[in-house]
A and B are shown apart, each in its own frame.
Chain A
Amino acid sequence: MTSFHPLLVGIHPRSERLIKTFRAYSRKKIGFDELSKVLERESREIIELQLDLNYRYVIDGMLRWHDLLRPLAEKLDGVEVDGLSRWFDNNLFYKKPVIVGEVKRTNKILKEYVYPSEIPNRRFKLVLPDPFTFTSLSELGKRRFDDVLFEVSEAMNEEIREMEVEIGLGQVQLSAPSLVWRKLDEDSLELAKDAVDECLKGVSAEKMIHLPFGDALNSFPQILDARVDMIGFDMTSTKLKELREYRIDRGVGLGFVDGRNSLIEDVEFVRRKVEDYLEANEPETIYITPSCDLEYLPRSVADEKVRLLKKIVDELEEVE
Chain B
Amino acid sequence: MKLFPTQEVGSLSKAPFLKKITRERIEETKRWGELLGVEGLDELLNLLRDPSKAYRNMDKLYDYASLFAIRFFEKAGLDVVWDGEQRRIEMYEYPLSYVENFKFLGVVKVWDNEFYRKGAFTGEPKLKKPYHLDEFIFVKEHARREVKIPITGAYTLADWSFDEHYIKRYLDLDDPIEARRRAKEDLVMDLAKNILRPNILALVEAGAKRIQIDEPAVTSKPDEVPLMVEALNESVKGIDAKITLHVCYSDYRMLFPHIAEARLDQVSIECANRDTIELGLDDGRRRGYHILDYFKEYTPWLEVAVGVIDVHTNFIEPPELVRDRLIYAARRLGDESKIVACNDCGLRTRSWDVAFEKEVNLVKGAELARELFK
Contacts and interface: CB of A to CB of B under 8 A. Distances in A.
9 contacts: A14-B109, A16-B107, A86-B220, A91-B160, A92-B110, A237-B177, A261-B162, A295-B108, A300-B106
A84 interface: yes
Interface of B: 105-113, 115, 118, 120, 159-160, 162-164, 167-168, 171, 174-177, 180, 217, 220-221
A13 B220 CA distance: 22
Interface in A282-299: 295-299
Given A86-B220, A91-B160, A261-B163, A239 B176 contact: yes
Contacts of A301: 105-106
A92 B176 contact: no
Given A239-B174, A301-B105, 9 more contacts: A16-B106, A91-B110, A91-B220, A93-B110, A95-B112, A239-B176, A263-B168, A295-B109, A301-B106
B166 to A, nearest CB: 10
Interface residues of A, number: 37
A237 B176 contact: yes
Contacts of B176: 235-239
A93 B111 contact: yes
Contacts of A66: 111-113
A240 B175 CA distance: 8
A314 B335 CA distance: 67
A91 B162 contact: no
A262 interface: yes
B164 A91 contact: no
Interface string A103-116: 00000000000000
Interface in A84-105: 84, 86, 89-95
Interface of A: 13-14, 16, 19, 22-23, 26, 66-67, 84, 86, 89-95, 215, 235-241, 261-263, 269, 295-301
B108 A297 contact: yes
A177 B296 CA distance: 36
Contacts of B164: 261-263
A301 B164 CA distance: 12
Contact of A89 (B113, B175, B221): B221
Contacts of A240: 174
A94 B107 CA distance: 18
Nearest to A269: B171
Main SS class of interface, A: loop
B111 A263 contact: no
A263 B108 contact: no
Contacts of A241: 174
A241 to B, nearest CB: 5
Contacts of B217: 91
B113 A26 contact: yes
Contacts of A16: 106-107
A173 to B, nearest CB: 20
B115 A19 contact: yes
Nearest to A26: B113
A298 B111 contact: no
A89 B107 contact: no
A298 B118 contact: yes
A67 B114 CA distance: 12
Contacts of A263: 120, 162-164, 167-168
Contact of A22 (B113, B175, B177): B113
A262 to B, nearest CB: 4
Contacts of B163: 261, 263
Contacts of B113: 14, 19, 22-23, 26, 66
B44 to A, nearest CB: 31
B120 A89 contact: no
B115 A92 contact: no
Contacts of B220: 86, 89-91
A177 to B, nearest CB: 15
Contacts of B168: 263
A13 B162 contact: no
A78 B260 CA distance: 45
A107 to B, nearest CB: 22
A193 B217 CA distance: 34
A261 B159 contact: no
Contact of A92 (B111, B159, B167, B171): B111
A171 to B, nearest CB: 24
A298 B107 contact: yes
A19 B109 CA distance: 10
Given A235-B176, A263-B120, A94 B111 contact: yes
A262 B162 CA distance: 6
A239 B175 contact: yes
Contacts of B171: 269
